[in-house]
Homo-oligomer: A and B are copies of this chain.
Amino acid sequence: MKFCSTCGSTVSQKIPTDDTLHRFVCDDCDTIHYQNPRIITGCLPIYNNQVLLCKRAIEPRKGWWTLPAGFMENGETAQYGAERETWEEAKAKVGNVELYTLFNLPHINQVYMFFRSDVIDGQHEAGVESLETRFFSETDIPWDELAFPTISRTLKLFFTDRKTNNFPVRMEDIGFPNRPAKK
């Protein structure tokens, strides 16, 4: 950030009065421009005991498998955002949408949320951000071709919890591989 989005003047990093952190503050109109973590919301879409994955058509991780997910938008709930992303990326409609996993990724200022959900009628198709969509059973999951740690962790938790049919909501931290966050 170099310029104030309110008045167009330059900004400087400084600690505002009654604050403890450096913020971008306008040199002219004194507007404080806060920057905060963003939420990525998505689904773990299930049908006939299989999980729906999408092969990414875009960077990062183009060609790798992922769960349908994306940035939560203003004006929507996290569940709605997860359903929207599942429609956009996998052309799948889901029901019984239940919060399941949350991940803090403090090194990239993100919080992930995944919702377990049932794919209605089992219908799916690659959306514009996907090369391919496909149902996988547990034994077929392409573990070495998953796009992000949040995906592999959600799938591992799901297959473990499925043994007891008990799916408590879990929040975990994911850091750099060589700088692990508190679990």
Contact = CB atoms under 8 A, between A and B. Distances in A.
A88 B168 CA distance: 31
Which of A37, A102, A173 has most B Cβ within 10 Å?
Answer: A37
Interface residues of A, number: 46
Given A5-B1, A39-B111, A128-B18, A173 B72 contact: no
Interface in A137-176: 168-169, 171, 173
B7 A5 contact: no
Contacts of A73: 21, 36-37
Interface string A21-33: 1001000000001
Interface of A: 1-8, 10-11, 18, 20-21, 24, 33-39, 71-80, 88, 99, 102, 104, 106-107, 109, 111, 128, 168-169, 171, 173, 181-182
14 contacts: A2-B6, A3-B5, A3-B7, A5-B11, A5-B24, A8-B8, A8-B10, A20-B88, A39-B39, A39-B111, A75-B107, A76-B106, A78-B102, A79-B171
